[in-house]
Amino acid sequence: MEFRTLTVLEHEVVPVGSGASTLSPIEAERLASMTQQRPGFCVFGHRSVRFSQFVGLVNLGGGRVLEVLPKVGEDADPALARGTLLRLLRWAYDLPIFAAGSVDHGLQQRELLDVFVLAYLKALARLVRIGLVHRYRIDEEDLRVIRGRLLLQRQATTHAMRVDRIASRFDELTADNPWNQVLKAALIAARPWARGVESGRLWLEMAAAFDEVPTRRDGLSLHGRLTKDRQVDHYAAALRWAGWILRLLSPDVRKGTNSAPELLFDMNRLFEAAVATRLRHRAGSKGLQLHLQHTGRHLADLLGDAERKYFRLRPDLVLSAGPEVLAVADTKWSRVDVDRRGRLAPPDAHAYQLHAYAAVYPCNEAVLIYPWHEGLADAQETAYQLPPAGSRRPVLHVICADVADDDLSFHFVADGSSFARLR
């Protein structure tokens, strides 16, 4: 079977037709069925499909995969968009998918599924070098020489007249356990997509390393039933990749359904997780704390009953030094505008949201974080004075995270601000 990839960008409109760069009517029908489990993934128009902020991979069936990539600014280069997604995944999920910690040009040029399969094979190779987890399993077998314990009843009834067979029960150390079974299932599912010399060679090596592990067709459901175990903590990265690959390619997902299996990421959440992970690393080195999705505060009390709280607030990030709140921030995966004077001009709704945070949280700084792109090269550092909140005069800062930078650097950070300590 020939495997093909249709690459589109976030928010792009793709026609439904018969060409190689279009979606077939059957594929569009599968996407429509999939959106019941993934609301908001795409919107259907007249013989067209418009994609939203979800990016990643969709298995369209028939050897065809839909690759949806993020769009930053006006850049429509799939290779650069692929690099952006890989960087964000690296930060958000702490995945060691790059040998040197960076996304090189060659990696960006490869289709996303090829990169994922190669990353999974490399994760398996690391486990094999360390040593796969083995567990003792109780086996019963008829042997020529006794091993372990003699099964007296079976020996007396089944082998009473045979001296060349000894019914034995013994403990055997084996790699046949649920964790390795999941990894083997993902390995088998990835076989058709292990394209290229490096992926093909690694697949053969890993298949030999997992030879004693039986193949299971319920790998995805088994993955969901795995329990925590300290002895398999080092399996975390490989098991995450295995779960993703099984979700997209596992036979038990595709069988008997018109829906398209998918491996999609909400860019709003992915950008938030990547920025949070990066800032948390920096905050820890400075003795600060970064709290994610902070809850516990409300915008208002019921008039006459201060114990009844309404309008729960949930900022993406709260930066603190011990009990002192330094700043409250929200990440926004959207394009920030620039006014005629080169100032960053966030949408009104975003500013209103941060004003609400700054009115309730006892801090002097509120921060909006957007992705940086080349269209902001001539923009200037921008901050807005918010209305007083008691004795405080909070300031709204607008900063940008450079998603084209492997270090996820930040632009427009004011000197002296709390976030300047995290640069």
Among residues 124, 118, 170, the alpha carbon closest in space to that of 147 is found at 170
88 within 8 A of 274, measured Cβ to Cβ: yes
Percent over 70 (pLDDT), the chain: 86
CA–CA separation, 137 and 139 (whole Å): 6
316 within 8 A of 333, measured Cβ to Cβ: no
Q: What is the mean pLDDT of residues 59-67?
A: 88
CA distance to 29, 59, 261, 381, 400, per residue, from 271 (Å): 30, 24, 23, 21, 12
Among residues 189, 182, 185, the alpha carbon closest in space to that of 232 is found at 182
Rounded to the nearest angstrom, the gap between the alpha carbon of residue 265 and the centroid of all alpha carbons in its chain is 6
CA–CA separation, 201 and 305 (whole Å): 69
Residue 250 has pLDDT above 80, yes or no: no
Look-up: residue for tokens 């427009």?
A: 412
Q: What is the mean pLDDT of residues 259-277?
A: 91
109 within 8 A of 118, measured Cβ to Cβ: no
pLDDT in tens, 357-402: 999 998 999 999 999 988 898 999 999 999 998 889 999 999 999 9
Q: What are phi and psi of 382, to 5 degrees?
A: -135, 135
Rounded to the nearest angstrom, the gap between the alpha carbon of residue 316 and the centroid of all alpha carbons in its chain is 17
Percent over 90 (pLDDT), the chain: 46
Q: Which residue has the higher pLDDT, 211 or 98?
A: 211
Residue type, 42: C
pLDDT in tens, 78-93: 888 888 998 899 888 8
Among residues 73, 33, 64, 38, the alpha carbon closest in space to that of 52 is found at 38
Across the chain, mean pLDDT equals 86
pLDDT in tens, 319-349: 999 999 999 999 999 999 899 999 999 999 9
Going from N- to C-terminal start, the domains of the chain cover 135-174, 286-422
pLDDT in tens, 114-142: 889 998 999 999 999 988 888 777 666 67
Parallel, antiparallel, or unpaired for β 410-411 and 395-401?
antiparallel
Burial of 22 (C-beta count, 10 Å sphere; 0-12/13-18/19+): middle
Confidence of residue 161 (pLDDT cuts 50, 70, 90): low
**CB 351: neighbour CB atoms within 10 A?**
17
CA angle, residues 248, 253, 256, in degrees to nearest 5: 135
| β-bridge mates for residue 369, sequence order | 331, 399
Q: Enumerate helices (H) and strands (E) in the chain, giving the number of each.
A: 12, 21
